């Protein structure tokens, strides 16, 4: 019971910081994605593909969240995109305060789209707002179609589910229709996309949808 | 700082309960595996294969840990093996108290090997002892070879790493030698096995090693 109370206090404190972050992002017209998935589902690869598709149109920045190491951040820096590494030091998610402390590393007046890549984890990241416009999650085909039912919060909180590693569909036991159906039963508003970061197939609908979300946000700001 | 202190207190309290569990398992001569991995890496499939290989030699029981649902427990129950489901209700790991509360569901005098399948998560499960003889982790080839460096605690705490989904090795970018080398640099004592739960290949060394660990334990008890 004590533990539950502590966790609730932590979440309340986090929400206040996330709201401050959000107010800053609104003022600076920065659209923010909080990207989540299991370890190895393809978060960094999706960020790379999204940068490739949108870098001529929008100014993009990235925050990489990892327990330790800077491997993912180095991949993004190699694309000549502003990137900051958060090392959570054991914590299994990023939170509003970690993002707040990372923001002085960027010139937000020069950023249209900020992608925060969370720690690889299907559980806790969904509990912590960081001030994002939307959460986006990746489900990869080798993980199996039972994941929406087993980790429902992540599917409930996300605006979009990107099913990655479609190139492996013939080699794994993944029931694509079941995964979509179960995810939509948890969250009927979920936008669903199927891609392969490896073969680069399927990205047009995701990029078109993201562009539309981003433009709607920009048009809503003075 | 306050948060860190709270977490430390939780871990200390957990360790005391885990020690009580351990004393009970010792008295009853029950060998306990705490099985961990990312979501969808193949924990339940590995439990199924291990049951098939050892059920004629040892009396096996299983505790399934999931955020919610009973899907994995139903798979084990279909094998006519005693199984108890723990629903963590949002928590991203099982802990000593959850195991303690599950134990009255079993006749421990009739159990030689108890496998506890943790919540799918590469981070927090490694922090919580449950009174196990050893932690075992699964890394699946689609997750990528960078996982030891990104999630070192899990590799550090485990006695064995089972690399699963070897049937996909030709279809994914997985550097097997790098994964082994990085894992062993974190934990030189790690026993490493390569298997495919799908094709059932590679299980003999894992089963032989587990049998040897189990027999060593049994022979050490009066």
Query: What is the model's pTM?
Result: 0.93
CA dist B62 and B30 (Å) reads: 12
User: Measured between CA atoms, how close is A145 to chain B, in angstroms?
Assistant: 9
Determine, for residues A66 and B173 on separate chains, whether the beta-carbon distance falls below 8 Å.
Answer: no
Residues 6+ apart with CB under 8 A from A89: A67, A68
Q: Burial of A89 by CB count in 10 Å (0-12 exposed, 13-18 middle, 19+ buried)? A: exposed
Q: What is the pLDDT of residue B89?
A: 84
User: Measured between CA atoms, how close is B191 to chain A, in angstroms?
Assistant: 22
Question: Which segments of chain A have a pLDDT < 50?
Answer: 1-4
Which of B102-127 are b and which e, b meaning 16 or more Cβ less than 10 Å from the residue's Cβ? bbeebebeebbbbbbbbbbbbbbbbb
Q: Is B150 on the interface with A (CB under 8 A)?
A: yes
pLDDT in tens, B169-182: 999 999 999 999 99
Pick from B10, B165, B173: CB nearest A142: B165
Tokens of A28: 């600076």
**Sheet strands (E) in B69-214:** 83-87, 113-117, 134-140, 160-164, 191-194
**Sheet strands (E) in chain A:** 31-37, 60-66, 83-87, 113-117, 134-140, 160-164, 191-194
Query: What residues 2-41 of chain A have any CB closer than 8 A to a CB of chain B?
Result: 3, 6, 10, 38-40
Interface mutation target, options B36, B64, B142, chain A, most CBs of A under 10 Å:
B142
- For residue A33, the SS3 value is strand
Interface mutation target, options A1, A14, A73, A123, chain B, most CBs of B under 10 Å:
A123
Sheet strands side by side (includes A83-87): A83-87, A60-66, A113-117, A31-37, A134-140, A160-164, A191-194
Q: Is A125 on the interface with B (CB under 8 A)?
A: no
For residue B149, list chain A residues with Cβ-Cβ distance below 8 A. Answer: 68-69, 71
For residue B123, list chain A residues with Cβ-Cβ distance below 8 A. Answer: 67, 90, 92, 119, 121
For residue B122, list chain A residues with Cβ-Cβ distance below 8 A. Answer: 39, 120-121
CA dist A64 and A51 (Å) reads: 14
Q: What is the pLDDT of residue A12?
A: 86
Determine, for residues A40 and B151 on separate chains, whether the beta-carbon distance falls below 8 Å.
Answer: no
User: Measured between CA atoms, how close is A151 to chain B, in angstroms?
Assistant: 7
User: Measured between CA atoms, how close is B44 to chain A, in angstroms?
Assistant: 12
CA dist A217 and B9 (Å) reads: 44
Q: Is A166 on the interface with B (CB under 8 A)?
A: no
Q: Which residue of B has its CA nearest to A68?
A: B150
Determine, for residues B120 and A150 on separate chains, whether the beta-carbon distance falls below 8 Å.
Answer: yes
CA dist B170 and B152 (Å) reads: 26
B2: confidence class by pLDDT, cuts 50, 70, 90: very low
Query: Does residue B7 register a pLDDT over 70?
Result: no
Question: Using an 8 Å Cβ cutoff, are B167 and B198 in contact?
Answer: yes
Let me know the angle formed at the C-alpha of A92 by A39 and A132, rounded to the nearest 5 degrees: 90
Q: Burial of B16 by CB count in 10 Å (0-12 exposed, 13-18 middle, 19+ buried)? A: exposed
Written as one string, the DSSP assignment of B28-52 is: HT-EEEEEEESTTSSHHHHHHHHHH
pLDDT in tens, B168-222: 999 999 999 999 999 999 999 999 999 999 999 999 999 999 999 999 999 998 8
Q: What is the pLDDT of residue A3?
A: 47
Tokens of A221: 């700001």
CA dist B39 and A45 (Å) reads: 19
pLDDT in tens, B79-129: 999 999 999 988 899 999 999 999 999 999 999 999 999 999 999 999 999
CA dist B167 and A118 (Å) reads: 29
pLDDT in tens, A171-218: 999 999 999 999 999 999 999 999 999 999 999 999 999 999 999 999
Q: Is A169 on the interface with B (CB under 8 A)?
A: no
Question: Using an 8 Å Cβ cutoff, are B49 and B79 in contact?
Answer: no
Tokens of A73: 């951040």
Question: Using an 8 Å Cβ cutoff, are A170 and A142 in contact?
Answer: no
CA dist A26 and A31 (Å) reads: 8
DSSP B106: S
Q: What is the pLDDT of residue B222?
A: 83
Pick from B3, B68, B151: CB nearest A39: B151
Q: Is A171 on the interface with B (CB under 8 A)?
A: yes
Q: What is the pLDDT of residue A222?
A: 83
For residue A67, list chain B residues with Cβ-Cβ distance below 8 A. Answer: 123, 150-153
User: Measured between CA atoms, how close is B141 to chain A, in angstroms?
Assistant: 9
For residue A168, list chain B residues with Cβ-Cβ distance below 8 A. Answer: 142, 168, 171-172
Determine, for residues A142 and B66 on separate chains, whether the beta-carbon distance falls below 8 Å.
Answer: no
């Amino acid at each position: 019971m004590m533990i539950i109370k502590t966790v609730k206090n932590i979440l309340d404190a986090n929400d206040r910081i996330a709201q401050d972050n959000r107010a800053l992002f609104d003022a600076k017209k920065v659209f923010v994605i909080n990207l989540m998935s299991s370890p190895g589902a393809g978060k960094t690869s999706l960020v790379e593909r999204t940068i490739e598709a949108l870098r001529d149109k929008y100014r993009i920045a990235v925050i990489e969240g990892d327990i330790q190491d800077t491997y993912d951040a180095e991949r993004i820096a190699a694309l000549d995109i502003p990137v900051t590494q958060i090392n959570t030091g054991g914590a299994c998610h990023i939170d509003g305060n970690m993002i707040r402390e990372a923001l002085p590393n960027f010139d937000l007046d020069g950023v249209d789209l900020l992608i925060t890549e969370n720690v690889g984890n299907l559980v806790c990241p969904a509990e912590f707002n960081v001030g994002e416009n939307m959460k986006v999650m990746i489900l990869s085909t080798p993980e199996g179609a039972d994941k929406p039912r087993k980790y429902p919060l992540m599917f409930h909180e996300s605006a979009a589910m990107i099913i990655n590693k479609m190139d492996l569909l013939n080699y794994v036991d993944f029931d694509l229709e079941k995964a979509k159906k179960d995810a939509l039963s948890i969250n009927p508003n979920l936008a669903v996309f199927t891609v392969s970061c490896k073969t680069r197939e399927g990205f047009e609908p995701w990029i078109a949808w993201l562009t539309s979300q981003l433009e709607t946000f920009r048009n809503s700001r003075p």
